[in-house]
Structure 1
Amino acid sequence: MPTISASRQAPHQATLQNNRGLSLMQRGQPANAMQAFDAAISLDPTLTTATNNRRMALAMTGQYDAALAARCRTQSSRNA
């Protein structure tokens, strides 16, 4: 079986972590979901769905200011 480099596995693993986070959010566990989204973002910083989902989880835990600040950081990095 061929070996796949870690850099090629990372996007796939990031997607799996993002999906895990979505599952946790659906089960009413947004704090745990944020950990999965953080893992996804660290594996693939370009995975915008994980970033967006993390902001949603922040809002679900009542951390509205943090969710808004994260949105502003994302928009400013896109405009840079």
Structure 2
Amino acid sequence: MKRLDELKKALTVEFCDIEFSFHGKDCGVEPIVENSIVTYNVWCADRLETFKSADEVLDSPMFDGKTLRETAEDIDFFYV
């Protein structure tokens, strides 16, 4: 399974926290489920944003102008 597929599954099915390093910066995604509604806190270094869908997480250029969709195959993710 490709890393992007694993990442999508972790975000939408397993709802586990994800941590990784990108260009020497600590980054991560924290899915939060409240009243059956999911939001995602995404951080990279000092930047923090909240998204309403996994697609928004994957398509946000938060990582030095790149998206997780573009870079997933090059990142080692740790699922917590």
> Normalising by the residue count of structure 1, what TM-score does the alignment of the two structures yield?
0.29
Computing the radius of gyration from Cα coordinates, the structure with the larger value is: 1
Higher helix share: 1
> Normalising by the residue count of structure 2, what TM-score does the alignment of the two structures yield?
0.29
Higher strand share: 2
